[in-house]
Copies of this chain bind each other. A is one copy, B any other.
Amino acid sequence: MPEPTQTKASPNMADTDIAIVRIAPETSFKNKAYEALKEAILKMDIYATPEPVMLDERALSERLGVSRTPIREAIAMLEQDGFVKTVPRRGIVVVRRTKAEIVDMIRAWAALESMAARLITTTARKKDISALRDFFKDFGDDRLPQDHIEEYSKANIAFHQALISLSESPVLVDLTNDLLLHVRGYRQLTIGRKDRTATSLPEHLGIIEALEARDTELAEKRARDHTLGLAAYVEAHGQELFT
């Protein structure tokens, strides 16, 4: 039986072949809980308090208005992501990354982004590459990034995500997004620092130029060195975040 999953449709139905895919499966409580918890974890400043942040299944199920079952499934998913760790009979703790781990993640990010840069030089359209400049159109000699750090930081992240998207590589996009979620907590405190912001914008423009020039090796190198620079910066100046 060649097509066991497809019931034979009536003739006038098969010919029209209307493009209906499937009705919205309206996400389950499990997925809703996963999204809600993930957002909550990312929003909280895990590194503010010295005590580990704990989660309670029953409290969460009450807060979200569902039973513990979907909560537990969501927790299992978050544990796979590395956001929480459940200690048997002890509790669920929100994972805190060490400086070394953050630096390590940024290095992996650099690797993935430099590969994205490679791919872009061979496949992306000129128009799309040039559009990357738009993220920084609000900044210039008359409006320095270091004077609008919060705003520039947002543009910065958006630029990097758009850059990687241009590679049209789902794997690179997904992996870097995951890494970014873990690094973001620190990123708020480091990427926007004035001393680094000053060099950031020219480096970004340099990456774009190399991409436009279809210079694969140079684009890769600039993308890599730029992000490795961030890693080195965090490694050198991120100490105060881990007191």
Q: B112 contacts A108, CB within 8 Å? A: yes
A147 at the interface (CB under 8 A from B): no
- Within the assembled complex, what's the spacing in Å between the Cα atoms of A92 and B52? 36
Min CB distance A26 to B, Å, is 9
Indicate which residue in B30, B77, B108 contacts A115 across the interface (CB closer than 8 Å). B108
Contact with B along A89-129 (1 / 0, CB 8 A): 00000000000010011011011101100010000000000
- A79 and B28 CA atoms in complex are apart in Å by 14
A10-18, A153-161, A166-174, A192-200: which one contacts chain B? Answer: A166-174
Q: Is A184 in the interface zone, CB < 8 Å from B?
A: no
A102 to B30, CA, bound (A): 29
| Contact B72–A105 (Cβ < 8 Å) | no
Asked if A107 and B101 make an inter-chain contact with CB atoms under 8 angstroms apart, the answer reads no
A51 at the binding interface (Cβ < 8 Å):
yes
Within A197-234, the residues touching B (CB, 8 Å) are none
- Nearest chain B CB to A140's CB is how many angstroms away? 33
Closest partner residue, chain B, to A69 (CB atom): B69
A73's partner among B76, B87, B88, B115 (CB-CB below 8 A) is: B76
A5 at the interface (CB under 8 A from B): yes
User: Is A25's beta carbon under 8 Å from chain B?
Assistant: yes
A88 — which chain B residues lie within 8 A by C-beta?
A: 25, 28
Complex interface: chain B residues within 8 A of A81 (CB): 80
Q: Is the beta-carbon distance between A175 and B80 smaller than 8 angstroms?
A: no
Q: Is A4 an interface residue when CB atoms closer than 8 A count as contact?
A: yes
Q: Distance in Å from the Cβ of A103 to the closest Cβ of chain B?
A: 9
Q: Verify B76–A108 contact, CB threshold 8 A.
A: no
Tell me which residues from 168 to 189 in chain A have a Cβ below 8 Å from any Cβ of chain B: 169-172, 175, 179
A52, A171, A179 — most chain B CB neighbours (10 Å): A171
Please state if B101 and A171 are interface contacts (CB–CB under 8 Å): yes
Rounded to whole angstroms, the CA-CA distance of A112 and B80 in the bound complex is 20
Q: Chain A interface (Cβ within 8 Å of chain B)?
A: 4-5, 25, 28, 30, 51-52, 69, 72-74, 76-77, 79-81, 87-88, 101, 104-105, 107-108, 110-112, 114-115, 119, 169-172, 175, 179
Q: With contacts A72-B73, A76-B76, A107-B119 known, what are 12 further pairs, Cβ within 8 A? A: A4-B51, A5-B51, A5-B52, A28-B88, A76-B77, A77-B77, A77-B79, A101-B170, A104-B169, A111-B114, A111-B115, A171-B179
